[in-house]
Amino acid sequence: MIILGMYILIFAIAALIWAIVGAPFVKKDPFTALKTVTFGDESAIRSNRFASVISVISIFVIWGSFTGSSLIPGFLHVPGPFQGDTGFTYEATAPDGTKDTGIVRALAHPVGAVVELPSLDDLEESGFAKNFATTIPAYRASTIIAGKLLEDRKEQKITSINGIPIAPEGAVDIENGQVRMNAKGSLTFEPEQGMQMAEQFLPSPEKVGKRFISLIFDGYQNVTLFEHLGLSLFRVLVGFLLGCLVGIPLGYAMGLNGWFRGWFDPIVEFMRPVPPLALIPLIIIWLGIWETGKISLLFLAALWIMAIAARSGVSGVRISKVHAAYSLGASKWQILKNVIVPNSLPDIFTGARVAMGVCWGTVVAAELVAAQKGAGKMIIEASKFSLTDIVIVGILLIGVVGFGIDILMRILEKWLIPWKGKG
Amino acid sequence: MSGLQIDDISMRFDLPNGSHVQALQNVSLDLKSGELMSVLGPSGCGKTTLLNIVAGFLKQTSGQVVLNGKQVIGPSADRGMVFQQGALFEWMSVRKNVSFGPDMKGMPKAQSNEIVEHLLDVVGLQDFKDKAVYELSGGMQQRVALARCLANDPDVILMDEPLGALDALTREKMQGLVLKLWKETGKTIILITHSVEEALLLGERLLVMAPRPGRIHKEYRLPFAEMGVGADLREVKKHPDYNTTREEILAMIWDMEEEIMGRTEESAA
């Protein structure tokens, strides 16, 4: 909630700043600048580059600020867990009414650091309440059982902390944290947690970056990052190509022949809305968890999309083009090759873009379920060991690769079928 | 026997609800080789159906079409077709579009190139031969369509409102081009149009069709096409006969439209 609030705040402040001082920086194209009506005129809306940059930066700043990242200045950090020397004084009461005080010293330290127990040498030990020293890693709490503090925990009871009375199941806030007492009279000291996220929940950007580098060179579980990603991509490509190889001719046949259409329509229309992920269990049962299974799954994911794209490409051909070709003396085969196929390419390419997206999503999910290597396998394995930085690297790269595939397809489309939408 | 004979053609579409539409009834025509005939009529008079039957895209329910002594049974390269718009192949360059017919026949490259170069000269698109067709204006696209049709050297050219989608000025220029091509190539042309002026200017013979059932209402023989070859079409329009014929035909078509409206009102009442 706090994070969402901050994000909205940054959005509002940035928008306000832009509204006040941004105007001179806008490079308006001369035509749009002369339009008086822009609200409701979609063509007059230009994506604001400044907003895009701020948007991405603010995500990283929030990420850094909630993980105490060293990449952003310290004043932007939200309060982290308390670290350093702290402690409290407690008072215990014996059954006969005599009271004694003891001191607890604690050192809160970063996770993984090797530290020594705080010294108690300067303190005088007297009475039944003993002094105690402990170390507490960040984000943890330390439980001090009553027997370690009191000579006789059955008879004597701790009654106050820093002078504030405490009873079993009660709690007292002290300077750098909170002391709680359980039903049996033992104390738990929890230094302040702050608002930063523990590393197993969200590692800082630089940790993720470092992990990214080490994944490239050393890999995870003896498999490098590129091997993981490359294998996933390989599966997608093989599955997609097989899907095209079968799906496109099938779509053409359905678009050109009534028997084919009648035969395959029920199958295609039924299989199309079945999410490929729902087929994973069956595929595993039939084909096992090896490459055959995953590639078959991707083949099925691409097949129906490509068949439908090719079919709609055929039915989208303007009849006057076909008529013109016939009256220019073309044979059926020549019409297929010179009119129907090129005319259906834009539809097929749109289908291919969709199919590539679906395949990429499906391969990651399939690897989550069963795989030896692959991007999905890497993140699910890492998550089992709370290696959140690997999980985040994996998610970012899956996103980047998916986006890259789509960009590549768009470039290919522009290059291969420049006539798209201009018929 | 040369020329195009349309012999007692009838066309009846049976509808799923049991009724039927008589699109054409006993239409007969005889076109000599090299004649230019324009066809005019209110919508629903079957002029496009007639053209599709001659082209071989539709099969008449009775009668026959004979071209140069051979019965028409399907589309073929001896009857070229020019459509209103959107029938060019946008994945091919202008040159490729024009050479489509020769290429399909397997004509040697050198020979087809010669034809293409010549026709692009004739229609005035020499500078645009390597452009994609979607880069051209509507008028230029129709020039490509004309050239593509001529490249195949058909005996008959069927035009289905070829200038219908063009603006008035471009249209006038294109009318001149159609006349020029007709005279130079000596092709038999059937031209369907919605414009009375266009039918008058381009039709050596003018056929007025009537709807329900589609049939020939009246036929004219006109001098204007011959006068218009190589001349200013606006001068032709000043001819006194032009205006009287135009008024006569307009009145005729108005009457037909009125009749249709009246009939629908009757059936509605």
Q: Tell me the shortest Cα–Cα distance from A335 to chain B, in angstroms.
A: 9
Q: Tell me the shortest Cα–Cα distance from A219 to chain B, in angstroms.
A: 47
CA-CA distance, A235 to A241, in Å (whole number)? 10
Give B132's DSSP letter: B
Q: Tell me the shortest Cα–Cα distance from B166 to chain A, in angstroms.
A: 17
User: Residue A303 has which token pair?
Assistant: 């097949």
Region for B86 from its dihedrals, namely left if φ exceeds 0, alpha if ψ lies in -120 to 50, beta otherwise: left
**pLDDT value of position A338:** 93
User: Which chain B positions have a beta carbon within 8 Å of A320's beta carbon?
Assistant: 83-84, 86-87
**pLDDT value of position B3:** 85
Looking at B124-237, list the stretches that DSSP marks H as alpha helix, in order from N- to C-terminal side. Answer: 138-151, 168-185, 196-202, 224-228, 233-237
B148 and A328 within 8 Å at the Cβ level: the answer is yes
B86 and A329 within 8 Å at the Cβ level: the answer is no
CA distances from B23 to A211, B27, B63, B215, B263 (A): 77, 10, 14, 8, 17
Q: Which long-range contacts (CB under 8 A, 24 or more apart) does A330-339 make?
A: A330/B100, A330/B104, A331/B104, A334/B104, A336/A252, A336/A256, A338/B89, A338/B100, A338/B104, A339/B89
- CB-closest option in B55, B86, B132 to A418: B132
* Residue A208 near residue A199, CB atoms below 8 Å: no
A327 and B56 within 8 Å at the Cβ level: the answer is yes
What sign results for the dihedral spanned by CA atoms B166, B171, B174, B180? positive
Count residue pairs from A and B with Cβ separation < 8 A: 75
Amino acid at B169: L
pTM above 0.90, yes or no: no
- CB-closest option in A327, A330, A342 to B91: A342
Q: Please, what are the domains in chain A?
A: 2-76 (no CATH), 84-191 (no CATH), 207-416 (1.10.3720.10)
CA-CA distance, A327 to B101, in Å (whole number)? 9
**pLDDT value of position A423:** 64
Task: Give, for all 269 residues of chain B, the pLDDT tens digit.
Answer: 578 888 888 998 888 888 888 888 888 989 888 899 999 988 878 888 999 999 999 998 998 998 888 888 889 888 999 998 878 999 999 999 999 999 998 889 999 999 999 999 888 888 898 889 888 888 899 999 999 999 988 999 999 988 888 888 888 888 888 888 888 888 899 999 988 888 988 888 999 998 888 888 888 888 888 888 877 888 888 888 888 899 998 998 888 888 877 766 666 55
Q: Is A36 on the interface with B (CB under 8 A)?
A: no
Q: Please, what are the domains in chain B?
A: 4-78+173-268 (3.40.50.300), 84-153 (no CATH)
User: Which chain B positions have a beta carbon within 8 Å of A348's beta carbon?
Assistant: none
Q: What is the ipTM of this complex?
A: 0.90
User: Residue B26 has which token pair?
Assistant: 């006993």
**pLDDT value of position B264:** 64
Task: Give, for all 423 residues of chain A, the pLDDT tens digit.
Answer: 878 888 899 899 988 988 888 777 766 677 777 777 778 877 777 788 888 988 988 888 888 888 888 888 878 887 888 888 888 888 888 888 888 888 888 888 887 778 888 877 777 777 787 888 888 888 888 888 888 778 777 778 888 888 888 888 888 888 888 888 888 878 888 888 877 887 778 888 888 888 888 888 888 777 888 888 898 999 999 999 999 999 999 999 999 999 999 999 999 989 888 888 888 888 888 888 788 888 999 999 999 999 999 999 999 888 999 999 999 989 999 999 999 999 999 999 999 999 999 999 888 888 888 777 888 888 888 888 888 888 998 899 999 999 999 999 999 999 988 888 776
